[in-house]
Structure 1
C-alpha cells in the first residue's frame, strides 16, 4: 500500500503517438489536509475513492488505499467535494519496463502536462523518454490536491 513514484513535466506532445490508451478523469477532494487526502475519481464510467497519506520528505513515497465504487456513488460524492474539480486525460505510455501515466490537464489547469512513473523501490532505474522534462517529484504545487486549490493557470 506504499506508492513510490516520480513525477516530471512533459515538454512535447510526442507521448500521444506512443500512448497505448487514454482515459478521461474528473476528480475532486473531500479532504486536502497535508497528512491525508481523500479523493473521489470518475474515470470513464468507473468510480473510485482513494485515501493518501502524507508524502515522505523527498516526496517519493506515501501510503495509498483505493477502492472502486459505483459511478452514481462517485457522482454523488463529487458533489460534496471541496471547490476545484480536476479535469484531465490520462495517457498510458509504455517505456522500457515501465508505464508512464501522462496527465494532460484542462479547465483551470490547462497547459499543464505531467508524467508519473511508479517504481518498486526509490532507487530503481528506468528509461527516460525524450519528451520527459524537469523532475517535480516532491513539489507540492503539482499534487492534484493542490492544483484543485491553486490551479496552474493562476501561477
Structure 2
C-alpha cells in the first residue's frame, strides 16, 4: 500500500491535446494533518475514501489506502468535511509506459496546474514531456490537503 509518485508544475496546456480522458473531481478532507490525511472524493460518478500517511524524506513515497464507496455516501461525507473543498479537472496522458495525471484546479485554486506520475520505484526513469515544469515533489504546500486550507489564489508570490 505504498504510493510512489512525483509531482510537477505544468507550464502550458499542450497536454490537453495528448489526453486520453478527462473527468471532474471534487474532494474534501475529514483530516488534513500532512502526516495522516483522510480524503473523500467524487471522481466522475464514483465515490472514494482515502487515507494517506507520512511521506519519506524526499516526499516520493507514502502510505495510501483507498476504497470505492457509493457516490451518495461520498456526497454525505463531503458535507462532514472541513471547509475548503478541492475542485479540478483531471486529464490522463500516456507517455511511453507511464501515465501522467494533470490536474487543472478551479475555485479557490484557480490558476494552478499540477502533474503527477506514479512509479514502481523511487529512482525509476521516465520521459518528461515539454509541458512539464519545476518539480514540487515533497513540497507540502502543493498537497491537496494543504491547498484546501491555504488555496493557491491566496499565495503572495505564485511560482509558475
Q: Distance in 2 between matches of 1:34 and 1:138?
A: 11
Contact 2:25 2:89 in 1 (8 A): yes
Q: Per-residue CA shift, 1:74-117, capped at 9, x if unaligned?
A: 00000000010000000000011100000000001000000000
Output aligned runs, 1:66-77, within 5 Å.
Answer: 66-77=66-77
1:153 maps to what in 2?
153
2:158 maps to what in 1?
none
Kindly indicate whether residue 33 of structure 2 is the aligned counterpart of residue 33 of structure 1: yes
Q: Distance in 1 between matches of 2:34 and 2:140?
A: 10
Q: Aligned Cα RMSD in Å?
A: 0.5
Contact 2:34 2:140 in 1 (8 A): no
Q: How many residues align?
A: 155
Q: Per-residue CA shift, 1:1-40, capped at 9, x if unaligned?
A: 1000000000001000000000100000000112210000
Output aligned runs, 1:130-149, within 5 Å.
Answer: 130-149=130-149
Q: Distance in 1 between matches of 2:23 and 2:57?
A: 31
Q: Distance in 2 between matches of 1:84 and 1:12?
A: 26
1:84 maps to what in 2?
84
1:125 maps to what in 2?
125
The 4+ residue runs of structure 1 with deviation greater than 6 A are none
Contact 2:100 2:117 in 1 (8 A): yes
2:64 maps to what in 1?
64
Q: Distance in 2 between matches of 1:76 and 1:134?
A: 37
Q: Distance in 1 between matches of 2:31 and 2:23?
A: 24
- Structure 1 unaligned spans of 5+: none
